[in-house]
Amino acid sequence: MPVLAVRSVIAGVLMGLANLVPGVSGGTMLLAAGVYQRFITAIAEVTTFKFRTRSIVALGAVVASAALGIVLLAGPVKDLVVEQRWIMYSLFIGLTLGGVPLVWKLVRPARAGTYIAGAVAFALMAVMALGGSAGGGAGETNMFMLALAGVAGASAMILPGVSGGYLLLLLGQYVPILASISRLKDGVSARDFDAIMAEMGVVIPVGIGVVVGVVVVANVLKVMLARFEKATLGVLLGLLFGAVVGLWPFQQGVMPEAGDVIKGQAVTEQTIGEIEPDDWPVEFFSPTATQGVVAVGLVLVGFGATLGLSMVGGTKRKGADQPAR
């Protein structure tokens, strides 16, 4: 039980951090930490009023640490992604790939359907990553869009390889939500009740959407893992590999030019200076030799970190961390 709690706390922090970064999946971090199936089962059990100590410990530790990580790191992570994108993405490539050995251990012995499901999932993720834009900014924000963003973010939080931050970018809610979280944190720190209440118009609809998304997706996944385990694990493995496609690290924000369209508005010479770096378009660049070496090093560091984490408290028996069905 103590090992499960520790792994769940670490997994929760990583999941919270991952969901702040477009292109990185929170579910991937749960897989890497070896608590994914336990987490899915815990949600399914709690939402059907089945309370078991192990499930409550795992769920509570993951949710609490993820929420704390999001609140404390929303501002800094947003700034790092904008200013040091290649460093952050290199690290998260390693963190993502570090979960592959654990999932493969659960998949073995693989069947033909496992490979087919994995290939389809990989292709879908690759198309999404290559066809999307990582430089999205803020779109129209209202109660419906915020709730929809919560559902999308929560679904992606559970599905490995699907980035909550990336889906928020596609919906145009990434910057508004992270900015609101950062302001909420400042309001709490300053004990400014008015500032806290001012953010409730964002926090409440997003929170409702998160609850709905988590409950629905977790229960569906529990059924899929119980009835079609090999195929479902194949999909998860494909999502894991596919997530890396959108994380090519050598990309950076570039100042928009007159005539570009940002947030639905055409940029003019007069408005260029008013556009925040968060909303700048992103382009690829050729790395220097030093950047290439550092990127490889960060990938290895991330890989080693999640691989080591997945081995903490591990047993020799295959699927030892799998919940009882």
Residue ranges of the domains in the chain?
2-250+286-311, 254-285
pLDDT in tens, the chain (325 residues): 677 788 788 888 888 877 776 556 677 778 767 788 788 888 888 888 888 888 888 888 898 998 888 888 877 877 787 788 889 889 878 877 877 887 788 788 888 889 999 999 899 877 866 765 444 444 556 788 888 888 877 776 677 656 666 667 656 677 778 778 878 888 888 888 888 898 898 889 988 988 888 888 888 888 888 888 889 888 878 877 877 887 788 988 888 888 887 766 788 888 888 787 777 888 889 999 999 999 999 999 988 877 776 665 443 434 434 443 4
Q: What is the pTM of this model?
A: 0.65
Measured CA to CA, the distance from residue 232 to residue 225 in angstroms comes to 6
Cβ contact 24:163 at 8 Å: yes
Phi, psi of 322 (to 5 degrees): -70, 135
The three-point CA angle 88-273-149 to 5° equals 50
Q: Taking Cα atoms as reference points, which of 39, 65, 34 lies closest to residue 313?
A: 34
Measured CA to CA, the distance from residue 31 to residue 306 in angstroms comes to 9
Measured CA to CA, the distance from residue 58 to residue 45 in angstroms comes to 12
The three-point CA angle 107-120-128 to 5° equals 120
Measured CA to CA, the distance from residue 44 to residue 265 in angstroms comes to 44
Q: Which residues pair with 292 in a beta bridge?
A: none
Phi, psi of 284 (to 5 degrees): -80, 155
Scanning 199-288, the segments in alpha helix (DSSP H) are 200-227, 229-245
Q: How many CB atoms lie within 10 A of CB 32?
A: 33
Measured CA to CA, the distance from residue 278 to residue 135 in angstroms comes to 8
| Residue burial 275-290, b: 16+ Cβ < 10 Å; e: rest | beebbbbbeeeeeeee
- Only one residue has tokens 């951090």, namely 17
